[in-house]
Amino acid sequence: MVRWILGILVVAIAAAIAAWFWLNRPMVIRHPAFGTDCTDLVSDANLNSKVDCIRVWYGTNRLILTDDATRDGDTVNVTEGLGESGDRLSLGRADVWLPKLIEQGGSRTRGETPHVQGSAPDDANKLAEYVFLTRITANGRETFATTLQGAIDSDRSDSVLLFIHGFNVQFDEALVRAAQLSNDLSRENRFNVGVPVLYSWPSAGALSLEDYQGDRSRSISAAPYLEEFLDILTEDISVSRINIIAHSMGNRVLTQALEDYARDYLERHNRDDLEFRIMLVAADVERDIFNAANGVFDNLDANVTIYTSDTDRALHISSIVNTNEQKRLGDTDTNRPYIRPSQNYQTIDATAVTTELFGIGHNYYSDNPTILWDMMCTIRETPPQNRALEVARFGDLPNGDQYYRINSAINPNASECTLHRTAFPAGDAPIPPAVEVEVDEGVAEDEIEIMPEAAPAPPPRSMAPPAQSYDPNPADAFNPVLIEFLVATYDEIDLTPNWNTLENGFNPNRPIQSIQILAASDTVGSAEENLARTQAYANAIAAWFIARGVDPSVISAQGLGETELAVDTPDETAEPLNRRAAVLITYLN
């Protein structure tokens, strides 16, 4: 019997180790023929019906390595963009190989960036199912401006989409994200958000408290280079609109750069024909700092939308590292988000429909349809009453300042703002009940903004102590299924006590879009030990799903160590409620 038990343990450990190596294979971002223009590769492989080639123009203060050490040429190939400052603004462009969307005859769902893990396939048709970088070049200012202007003229959008990434993003990943956002926020033959442009500051592209602190310092020092980049876009490029999306720590860079840029904008540029539309997503910047700067932003006459969430992991890390206890611009704070009572400003709470905005992990897709769809409608300036938004009030007070909450149950008047993927049947979304509004005498009915009643405020944290029972609703095709449970111990990896919980929440007969796994610990042991233990446990949960036929490429597993306490405790405290795991399963239909 003992030998039999030992044999089972050996097999289980071997399986766990194999699963760990499988899940942690390196992600391949660069095409096997990297260094070649995307259009040449696609044409040679006859993949025009399966792959889109997206060219991204970039500015960066990263240290850029090229195949020409002197960089005497006007166009040189870039070999790497490092996570350290190059103390200068570098310009260039990159080609991104992006699988076409399903509705266009391709293999990709809107929002996804499917990457190869391990080694790239040899078959060209299989390559067409993944996203790749095919070439990055560094250019002089004149070549940069000339080629970007040519793309704007050809695109006929008369606008650019400037993306500024957040914490834990490497250069290659940022280029891919900029291409994906530009492609997926547009609608073929109906709406175009603009030519993709990226500003990449020197994030280390690594996830730890030390890396966060380093990224924070580098983001602040990057502001002058972003201001210089904005000057180039304003002075050298003929465009009528600049759409800006800044995520997470990228908002630190943008806030400082825009404050300096806008301060003397009217004197230096004297342009009244240029429109700015700015979206600040899960902004990791103190509200006081932003509040002090946004008065200067008025010189730009910009339309500003602030997307907030109480469940963005990057903001959770920020709250741990920063001890000043100041609220972040991107925090909803349950029902007390930052609101600026101004016609040009809107605050939108996305807590109820997403666990994080864009994510901070390599395996997380920036694919939450509710965010992409509503951001597209924000750029189009679709009125809030025509979108899947409900009115909310600060602090839930009757006279509190107004903001909005995304509500996926609303069937919006503007069909393009629906919060379900158009590549799959959306089903019949429930229509909110009519709202009776008393209209004052002398006020026309069409002047009244009628919105659905606000839903109850969402819970403040995504990994709260789990409930005692769990009753998933598999009939709802688009609400993700959340499974949460306590972990008795991390001293050994044993999923047996929680098998029934996992089985009850998992439907193997439904196609899966993604599975996100998080594991957290109490404070017994060192921070490094707890991080390793929770990562091993998260990997074991991933192996459980893989054993049941789930594609490993849709799974992300992360151990949080003791960085996410449900109950605040001193160090070396064995708190059962802090040893817990959460699994978020998003089905395709």
Task: Give the C-alpha separation, 354 to 482, whole Å.
Answer: 12
Domain 463-587 is found in CATH 1.20.200.10: no
Tell me how far CA of residue 576 lies from CA of 493, 495, 522, 580, 581, in angstroms: 16, 16, 7, 8, 12
The dihedral over CA atoms of 34, 39, 41, 42, expressed in degrees to the nearest 10, equals 130
Mind listing the pLDDT tens digit of every residue in the chain (589 residues)?
Answer: 556 565 665 555 555 555 544 444 468 899 999 999 999 999 999 999 999 999 999 999 999 999 876 666 688 999 999 999 998 999 999 999 999 988 788 888 777 788 888 888 888 889 999 999 999 999 999 999 999 999 999 888 889 999 999 988 999 999 999 999 999 888 765 678 899 999 999 999 887 778 888 998 999 999 999 999 999 999 999 999 999 999 989 999 999 999 888 877 766 766 677 899 999 998 999 999 898 887 777 888 889 999 998 876 667 667 666 656 678 899 898 899 999 998 899 999 988 765 445 544 322 224 455 577 788 889 888 899 989 899 999 999 999 999 999 887 787 887 777 664 333 222 222 323 333 333 334 434 333 333 443 434 333 334 433 333 333 343 444 457 889 899 988 877 878 788 888 888 888 888 898 999 999 999 999 988 898 889 888 888 988 888 788 888 889 988 999 988 888 889 999 988 899 999 999 888 6
User: Burial letters for 88-125: b for 16+ Cβ neighbours within 10 Å, e otherwise?
Assistant: ebbbbbbbbbbbbbbeeebbbbbbbbbbbbeebeeeee
The dihedral over CA atoms of 168, 172, 178, 181, expressed in degrees to the nearest 10, equals -80
Task: For the beta carbon of residue 264, count every other beta carbon within 10 angstroms.
Answer: 11
Per DSSP, the residues of 188-229 read TTTB---EEEEEE-------SHHHHHHHHHHHHHTHHHHHHH
Domain with CATH 3.30.1330.60 in the chain: 463-587
Task: Give the C-alpha separation, 251 to 357, whole Å.
Answer: 13
Residue whose C-alpha is closest to residue 258's, from 270, 272, 271, 246: 246
Torsion angles phi and psi, residue 269, rounded to 5? -110, -35
Torsion angles phi and psi, residue 216, rounded to 5? -60, -45
Residue whose C-alpha is closest to residue 244's, from 314, 165, 176: 165
CB 315 within 8 A of CB 358: no
**CA count, 13 A, side-chain hemisphere, 540:** 20
